[in-house]
Structures are given as C-alpha cells and as structure tokens.
Amino acid sequence: MRIGIIGAGHIGGTAAKLFARAGHDVAVSNSREPGSLDPLVSSIGPRAKATTPADAATFGDVVLLAIPYRKMDQLPPAERFAGKIVVDAMNPYSAAGRVTDLGESTSSEEVAKRLPGSRVVKAFNTMGWKTLETGGRSSSKDRLAVFVAGDDAAAKATVAKLIEEIGFAALDTGSLRDGGRRQQPGSPIYGRPMTASEGSEILRRRP
C-alpha cells in the first residue's frame, strides 16, 4: 500500500518507520521543504521518500494526519484527499496545551468537515509515540490496543489491518462521533498503554 504522511514528527515519523518495515511505501512531509526530511528518509530506507504535504496526500491510498490539530487549516486542499482513507491521529490541543471545546462535535468530525469526500478514520491518537515505537509484538498474544473510530466500515477495516501488521491489536470504538468521543483526551482509554483485553473491558464497562 502507498501511505502518505503529513507531519513527520514523533507520531508521523514513527508510524512511517513502522509502515515501511511492514512492507508499505511511505511519502513523508512536514511544514518545510522535503530535503529537511533527508535524515528520516535515510533512516527508513528505500521504501520512504520525502514530498510536500500536497504530494503526500496525492501519493497515499491511505493518508496519515499527524500535525498539531490547531494547524488543520494548513492542510492541502480537500480535493487532494478525495476518496482517500484519511487516518486522523491528531488531538485537539490548543497552543497552550488545553483541550479545545468542540461542543457537540468531535475532532475527527471536524477533520471530516474540512476534508469532505475523504474517508476519515480516527486512530493512533490515544497512544504515546514511544509506546508506538517500541510496543509492537509479533505474537498476537497480549498485544497493545490501538483504537479506531469511523463511519466507513471498509476504511476502518483497512486501517485495522495496518495496525495488526505493525504488531498491535485494533479495537473498534464505534462511529466517528461516539467512538471519537471514547478516544478523546481525558477518556479512560486515552494516553496509557493497555492490552486489547484491558481495552475491551474498559469499553464494555464505559460504553
């Protein structure tokens, strides 16, 4: 699969490494010129290249968003994402580190509004990047959970397969609204590593 990555810092850079290691081609991008990502590209190897964010969106069958949420308006035009599976790893923190009040909405629903025609799946937002980097397991026993939410079942299944390929267990939390709320900062499944069975138990107790 071809995976475009917009935002190649802690989460985007780590995910790029893991996806490439699993056999996918990745195009990484940041807010500067692509050459600034030469060290990351070299460390990943021949499955990686650096591009602009717009070209990363065009490149990917799947496009991972891993920039600060408050910079969402700086994403390439929505047309670039039409028909693509967009994985939203962003959390809605302000520059001061406070969670933004979105009222009835959730952050990935706001992403879906910004990118109409794309197939948004919320994933990789609850796990710290260090755990993502080192927490994958080849055995399916006791794998850590990566949660997924979305309204497009086929898109969610594709993202779940990617998660399994890099050594984690994909746990479905529901729709972009309900699952997105279950995955948001401050929720019981946010921000601490947990196995799939612990994650399922928490979701069962706190529907």
Q: Is 71 in the site for ligand NAP (CB under 6 A)?
A: yes
Taking CB positions, which residue lies at the least distance from ligand NAP?
9
What are the angstrom distances between the C-alpha of 101 and each of 20, 94, 164, 195, 203? 36, 10, 32, 29, 23
CB atoms within 10 A of CB 3: 26
C-alpha to C-alpha distance for 200 and 99, rounded to whole angstroms: 25
The single residue listed with the structure tokens 């990745």 is 26
Which of 6, 20, 41, 112 is in the footprint of ligand NAP by CB under 6 A? Answer: 6
Q: Is 9 in the site for ligand NAP (CB under 6 A)?
A: yes
Which 37-56 positions form the footprint of ligand NAP (CB under 6 A)?
53
Q: Kindly tell me which of 130 and 154 has the beta carbon lying closer to ligand NAP.
A: 130
The beta-strand segments (E) located in the chain are 2-6, 25-29, 48-50, 62-65, 85-88, 119-123, 145-150, 169-174
Q: Kindly tell me which of 123 and 141 has the beta carbon lying closer to ligand NAP.
A: 123
And the tokens for 175?
């729709």
Q: Is 30 in the site for ligand NAP (CB under 6 A)?
A: yes
C-alpha to C-alpha distance for 148 and 141, rounded to whole angstroms: 19
CB of 13 to ligand NAP, least distance (A): 7
Which of 41, 64, 90, 170 is in the footprint of ligand NAP by CB under 6 A? Answer: 90
Q: Is 31 in the site for ligand NAP (CB under 6 A)?
A: yes
Contact status, residue 146 vs residue 52, Cβ threshold 8 Å: no
C-alpha to C-alpha distance for 83 and 171, rounded to whole angstroms: 24
Q: Kindly tell me which of 89 and 159 has the beta carbon lying closer to ligand NAP.
A: 89
Binding region for ligand NAP (CB under 6 A) out of 17-25, 26-34, 174-182, 196-204: 26-34
Which 91-150 positions form the footprint of ligand NAP (CB under 6 A)?
91, 93, 125, 128-129
Give residues in contact with ligand NAP (CB under 6 A): 6-12, 29-32, 53, 66-69, 71, 74, 89-91, 93, 125, 128-129
